[in-house]
Chains A and B, each alone.
Chain A
Amino acid sequence: MGASPTHQTLSVLVENKSGVLARVSGLFARRGFNIISLAVAPSDDERFSRITIVIDVEETSVEQITKQLFKLVNVVKITELHPADAVERELLLTTVAAGPDKRSEVIELVGVFEGKIVDVAPGQLTIMLAGHPDKLDGFEELVRPYGITELQRTGRVALPKLDRQAGPRLRIHAREKASVHVDIS
């Protein structure tokens, strides 16, 4: 992974409150930052949710995006995940036209990609595939000629790669808001 990546993943821990997603997406719209994908889900602590945002870093610096995000009062923690340092996964569901003559070909393709057939009808198959987004792109391309009726992807989620050597994990950049003395007068 020599060339500098055009995207980066931010794992953003936010307060689990109404309107928070609108604050985050509104900030991206207003400042002209591009979102490639976005996934929201509850975290292990019910007070917080996790927003995983894949951002386009060709136009805007990650630094400016994270700093602006931090200004949102409901944003608690941001972890920057460089593609080289992250495990990234995404889920794809697609319904493909596959008549009796093509069905075995499609099933074979699903097997190669380690996907699953989750629904079957005469002439159609619904396929589930989880994996790295690049792998999903590859599958999508190969299955397209058969005729995609519907396709949905979740947007990626990511976690930092585990460090196999002891010692501090230097390349992962987690920014927590500085905890300093706060005057409330």
Chain B
Amino acid sequence: MTLKLTGAQALIKSLELEHVEVMFGLPGGCILPAYDPILDSPIRHILVRHEQGAGHMAEGYAHVTGRPGVAMVTSGPAATNLVTPLCDAYMDSVPMVAITGQVSRPVIGTDGFQECDTVGITRSVTKHNELIMDPDEISLIVRQAFHLATTGRPGPVLIDVPKDVLQAPVNWSWPTDDEVAASLPGYKPNVNGHPRMIKEAARLISEARRPVIYAGGGILKARAAEVLRQLAERIEVPVVTTLMARGAFPDDHPLCLGMPGMHGNYTAITAMQQADLLIALGTRFDDRVTGRVADFAPEAKIIHVDIDPAELGKIRRPDVPIVGDCRRVITELVRALEPLEQPDRTEWRSRISGWQERFPLHYDPPSDGDALKPQYVMEVLRDSAPEGTILVSGVGQHQMWASQYWHFNEPYTWVNSGGLGTMGFCVPAAIGAKVGRPDRTVWAVDGDGCFQMTAQELVTASSERIPIKVAILNNAYLGMVRQWQEMFYEERYSEVYLSPDLPDYVMWAEAMGCVGFRVESPEDVGPTIDKANAIDDRPVVIDFRTDQREKVFPMVPAGASNDDVVVHPSQKPGGERLVQ
């Protein structure tokens, strides 16, 4: 005899069977029936203040745990509020399952109250989406969603459930793995790299004089940090870690060159430019990394490993394309390299260390009376952070300083919005990260512009007792835009000024149940951070009043070649272009 359930019960039961421990959401009309069985479910539901927050929390949770984040909201405006996090998760390949309510089946298409074409709207920002029209298919579609979100190239999957489907009686059954696979005849991700290609890659590596490993976020998605380290150490080849891959290779490792790209460090950028071989692993040649594509790493041959075949040759044609899961392919590659001798690369190494010595990250120490340097705040925050701290950021200057000045020595300790560049990501993503790793300290480094977009989720954090810590690098500006206007629009500042004390961030934080601090002078930075680190029962917000004139360096101007990287003015005597 089959068990009789309502659609809503079947939905929540399916989530339980998919080992969902926590979901982020906000109820409303069409999703109402699904909120009733939550009262009896072991799944923890975190009530957000805005649906966008639910989506970013699910992402933050997924980033640090590797497990799919789950968000559940109602139809119409709630579904459209989820579009930004879905797109964010799609761009950064974050596993996520979103559930939205929909108007009842007979009402679909009639412009009913809170109706919108959710699957139509989210089609291009999800890996897949599905409108459930048959209540008996709820469990199958939930299983498909988790399977799709977590296998192959991970990504967000959305399930749209009409209200009457949630209320309908369901013949309960739980599909087997084989049934799930058979129900997706067009989905067969290729995880094993081609053996001949792997052999060819090993041969190219063993011939290269100036190789660089270009590690991307795919390393983290594939849980391949350990094998990446084996590979790098076996062949003694330096590694750059992109913004999405910070932590995939330890920053304190002698082979680590740090972050490449628009605001990467000089050595990482230049080593890639002058390489004769790029070993690109789980990365997609993003424009923020390549600069002008035609001039990117002009002498380099390319080995490109990615689980998504469409990435191979999308931007740069690889000499050796390998479709597969990074962990499996790198493991095989290390094996294929075993019998091969590596050439002497002393000269390459000494060139690299020359750049490292000549062009370290640099900022001018403050003169008397100067406002706080944001880089200094980052350094103190880094040096006083407890072991294993997870760092989360928003988008803009503070994000770049966070990535540049932190020392990432462990995977899954960095959460940010890379591909979409979503301002407002930081606070909710940090909450999701803390929910996923309650044992870790979570520091959210945010800009004042970003913070204002989603700060209300600190109410969620306070009421759910999720003690994250927020450092606002408050320069009273949309800082990155200001930087571009200063450098490329002759200092004509248009609509970028925000004010340092409107809102009053300390009062705002306290109104939301957090502890609020303000720091204006360098000697208060350390003690206040120590105070924040000692608080573990509430969220903390520190308003750091930072120098608005500070710019992010190095910088490759948009559309320029990576050869034209602009270093800090003090490193560029006479202002002439650097030549090697």
Contacts and interface: CB of A to CB of B under 8 A. Distances in A.
A184 B310 contact: no
A177 B128 CA distance: 17
Interface stretch (B189-197, B245-253, B272-280, B361-369): B189-197
A71 B188 contact: no
A184 B190 contact: no
A4 interface: no
Interface in B163-183: 177, 180-181
B339 interface: no
B92 interface: no
Interface string A152-185: 0000000000000000000000000111111111
Interface string A29-42: 01000000000000
B510 to A, nearest CB: 44
Interface stretch (B77-85, B116-124, B424-432): B116-124
B186 A15 contact: yes
Interface in A1-30: 14-15, 19, 22-23, 26-27, 30
Contact of A15 (B185, B192, B308): B185
A177 B119 CA distance: 25
Given A63-B313, A73-B128, A183-B151, A177 B187 contact: yes
Chain B interface extent, by class = 20 to 34
B500 interface: no
Contacts of A76: 185-186
Given A19-B119, A178-B188, A182-B188, A71 B180 contact: no
B185 A182 contact: no
B181 A184 contact: yes
B183 to A, nearest CB: 10
Given A15-B185, A75-B186, 13 more contacts: A15-B186, A19-B123, A26-B124, A64-B313, A67-B309, A70-B310, A71-B127, A72-B186, A177-B188, A178-B188, A182-B189, A184-B147, A184-B180
Interface of B: 119-120, 123-124, 127-128, 131, 147-148, 150-151, 177, 180-181, 184-192, 308-310, 312-314
Interface of A: 14-15, 19, 22-23, 26-27, 30, 47, 61, 63-64, 67-68, 70-77, 177-185
30 contacts: A14-B186, A19-B119, A19-B120, A19-B123, A19-B131, A26-B123, A26-B124, A47-B185, A64-B313, A64-B314, A68-B310, A70-B310, A71-B310, A73-B127, A73-B148, A74-B186, A75-B186, A77-B186, A177-B188, A177-B190, A178-B188, A178-B190, A179-B188, A180-B189, A180-B190, A181-B191, A182-B188, A183-B191, A184-B177, A184-B181
